Amino acid sequence: MNTRIVRLCCLLLGCLLLADPTFFSNSAAAQEKTKQPTLAGSVAELTKAVSKLSEQMVTTDDLNNLVTKGELQSKVKALSAAIQDQSIQIQAMRTEFVELLAAVDAQVEEQGKILAAISRRDKDGNYTLPLESIMDNSPSFSKEMKDVVNKSIRTHGTLLIENKMNLAQSLRVNGQDYRIPAKSKLNVPVPVGTVTTELVGYEAPKHLTVSPPTYLQRVVISPGKRAQVYVSPPMIIDDPLFLVPPIGNGFSIYRY
């Protein structure tokens, strides 16, 4: 029975092949075409799954870099200690800064008091030293100022006398006569201050000033019209007369 069914199926297949040789190839192609979209979708999904798993996988380097909970706690503890130490240092620096700021403020206040004590404003609004007030309030400073002034200011200067005349001339300087040869110069030391000169018989006395910074004054005797100096003649007084007691009538005048 079974043999006869197999033979009948083979006969039918042979007839199909004789009628359409591409029957089986078309069927296979159709089946392949029908199955292809499903296979492609499965491959894409599989690829995505593999990629996701790859991202979630831990590499050997990651495993080597893993630390234990104890190690993490040790590192955290060390970091906390470092932070605490830095906090202490920062607090110390803050305290030192506050102390330094207070010292600067105190110094500024002290300097302000000193400046107020040794300075004042003049009429032009400029700050100057009230030397007179300071010297009055400080005898030692007054003495030091006098010593400095005496050392820095010269007590004597020079009077330069130049004679441009063809004859020697005499010039009286502070009551002392000096002879200056013709066409020559003479340096006369004089005290600092007012100097009196007089060309006797030709000019009236003149007053010159010898002062810093040059400590030098110059007198030139040159030809020219000179002012005449008139000297009043001396008063002549005869021998004194004395009154004597009268002898006889009236008074008689006798030369003693």
pLDDT at 98: 93
Rounded alpha-carbon distances, angstroms, from residue 185 to 133, 199, 210: 47, 15, 18
Task: Name the token pair of 174.
Answer: 């502070």
Q: Pick from 169, 167, 235, 171: which is nearest to 197 by CA? A: 171
- Residue-wise pLDDT for 95-118, tens only, equals 999 999 999 999 999 988 887 777
pLDDT < 50 regions, the chain:
1-2, 6, 23, 29-30, 34-35, 227-231, 241-256
Fold exhibited by the domain 155-256: Immunoglobulin-like (2.60.40)
DSSP string over 172-237? EETTEEEEE-TTEEEEEEEESEEEEEE-TTTS--EEEEE-TTT-EEEEEE-SS-------PPPPP-
Q: What percent of the chain has pLDDT over 70?
A: 64
Question: What pLDDT was estimated at residue 228?
Answer: 47
Residue-level pLDDT at 56: 62
Cα–Cα distance between 113 and 122 in angstroms, integer? 19
Predicted confidence at residue 200, as pLDDT, reads 81
pLDDT, position 251: 41
pLDDT value of position 40:
57
* Domain residue limits, the chain: 85-117, 119-152, 155-256
**Shortest CA distance to 163 belongs to which of 182, 177, 189?**
182
Averaged confidence pLDDT in the chain: 74
How much is the pLDDT for 31? 53
Q: According to the model, what pLDDT value does residue 233 have?
A: 56
